[in-house]
Amino acid sequence: MSRDEDNLDKTSIVPSDTFKIKMAKVDEAPPSIVLLMGPINQIGKQWPIVEGSYKIGRSIESDICVDDRSVSRTHAQVILEAGNVYVEDLGSSNGTEVNGIELSAGQRIELTDNCQVKTGNVIFKYLERGNIEAVSNQASYDRSQIDGLTQIYNKRAFLDKISETFKRAKIMDIPLCLVVFDLDKFKSVNDTYGHRAGDFVLSELSKLIKKQLRPGDFFARYGGEEFTLLLGGTDIKTAIDVADRIRDLVEKHVFAFEGTELPVTVSMGVSTITEKINNWEELFEIGDQALYKSKENGRNQVTHLQDIE
């Protein structure tokens, strides 16, 4: 064997630092429950089981909240006890099954790696401590929540977030506002300067706005050139101020692509939760209508629908 071949052989059996880091993450991975079948925007979502008990249910107060009518408000619980993990039915309407075995109310059964837990029509998979799938699944789920171009949350992540946040705000009587906005005359940017320029604007805009966000603000690309900003615990006056500050920031920012300054402004609509609004879809629809009023009234402005006669 030549010296080069000998060195190659030795190199191939030495684990890389990256591999060591990955294996360390696997060793540290706690037991977890992963959603296999259920609401489309939650498929792949993973809940680590690190201590005590975790309620599964449709109620927003559940630790593992799944918005599916077949799941009772408080359906079952997952329990970590003395290093073992169990699932227990809590008197649910549609029952709890583990690998096809139906549990009676109050009955608990120990989970083993890759067990499937069925609550109503929703199916979870249990991954034991140190399961490499728990790490890879979490990484895949995280990637599925991020828009590739702008590196902010995508529509799927937004739908999951707004559904949960709206319910919590209603139950706990917490202020909640939504800003819906898009780029003015974005098609002309693509047509005039090319799609690479359009992609640059979307990416640059996202970076610019991300720097302005407060802890807890949820910023997402809803699709195309449309964006959403979910502001939990925020009253309407503050939400309008936040929206107008972003609008002004975008207008004043220099979007220079390959030596050419591109014209970029945004139109924005703001909506807020009220007693008359029954679901997040209505909150979004009002925000979207306000956005189009901004467009109709000349663009590059913020509209709150209650301001319109």
Query: Looking at the annotation, which residues are catalytic?
Result: 225
Check: CB of residue 215 under 8 Å from CB of residue 275: no
Instruction: For residue 304, give every residue at least 6 positions away whose Cβ sits within 8 Å of its Cβ, in sequence order, or none.
Output: 236, 240, 269, 270, 271, 272, 290
> Which residue is listed with tokens 């000998």?
6
Angle between helices 186-193 and 195-210 (to 10 degrees): 130
By CB atoms closer than 10 A (0-12, 13-18, 19+), residue 172 is: exposed
Distance from the Cα of residue 92 to its chain's centroid: 28
- Residue 273's contacts (CB-CB under 8 Å, 6 or more residues apart) are 166, 169, 170, 175, 176, 177, 283
Task: Name the DSSP class of 146.
Answer: B
- Count CB-CB contacts under 10 A for residue 40: 9
In sequence order, which residues have a C-beta less than 8 Å from that of residue 76 and are 6 or more positions away? 55, 56, 57, 87, 88, 89, 90, 92, 96, 103, 117, 119
- Across-strand partners of 230? 178, 218
For the chain, how far is it from start to end, CA to CA, in angstroms? 86
Cβ neighbours, 10 Å, residue 56: 30
